[in-house]
Amino acid sequence: MKNSNFKEKAFRLLQQSVYRTQRFMQGRNGTDFLSKDLYRLALILFVISLFIRNAVLSGIVTVLMAYVLFRTLSKNLGARQRENALYCEKRRIFLSKAAFEKRKWDDRKTYRYYVCPSCGRKLRVPKGRGKIEVHCPCGNSFDRKS
C-alpha cells in the first residue's frame, strides 16, 4: 500500500512538472532546425575543446549555447521563424550542390560535365568520344572535347 502511494505521488509530481514546462514554453519559439543544428555544432566543438584546450573555442561554444537557449526561449516568433526559414533555404541549396558535386566525382571516369554558355544549365556528356557537339535543351549547341 505504502509503495503504490509513493508511485502515485511521484507520478503526480512528474505530471505537474511536465505541465509547468508546457505552460512556460507556451508562446515561445522552442526548438527548430536552426537551433538543433547550432546545438549539434556546439556539441561537436565542445567535444573538440575537451582535447584541444583553447579559450577561443570554449568561448565560441558558450556563445553558441547561449544563442540556442535565446532562440528556444524567444517570444519573438516572427523573427525566429524568418531566421529558421532563411537557414533552411541556404541549407537546402548547399546540400543540393554537395549532392551534385558527389555525383560529378562518382562519374568522373565515364562522364564530363559542361555548363551551357547560353542558359547556365549543367550538361553531362560521355567521356572519350573526341570532339563533340553538345546540344542543350534550351536549343543552344557548342563544341567541346569529351
Who's near 142: CB < 8 A, 6+ residues apart?
Answer: 114, 116, 117, 133, 134, 136
Question: How many C-beta neighbours within 10 Å does residue 103 have?
Answer: 13
CB 60 to Zn ion: min, Å? 44
Residues 83, 71: Cα–Cα separation, whole Å: 10
CB 122 to Zn ion: min, Å? 10
CB 64 to Zn ion: min, Å? 43
Kindly state the cell numbers that stand for 53: 584546450
Cβ proximity to Zn ion, 87 vs 111, nearer residue: 111
CB 28 to Zn ion: min, Å? 48
CA 42 from centroid of its chain's CA atoms: 13
Cβ proximity to Zn ion, 103 vs 121, nearer residue: 121
Q: How far are the Cα atoms of 82, 114, 129, 136 from residue 126, in angstroms, in the given order?
A: 43, 11, 7, 14
Among 73, 79, 93, 119, binds Zn ion (CB under 5 A): 119
Per-position x/- string for 79-118, each x denoting binding to Zn ion as judged by CB under 5 A, each - no binding:
-------------------------------------x-x
Per-position x/- string for 124-143, each x denoting binding to Zn ion as judged by CB under 5 A, each - no binding:
------------x-x-x---
Who's near 121: CB < 8 A, 6+ residues apart?
Answer: 115, 136, 137, 138
Q: Which positions lie near Zn ion, rule CB under 5 A?
A: 116, 118-119, 121, 136, 138, 140
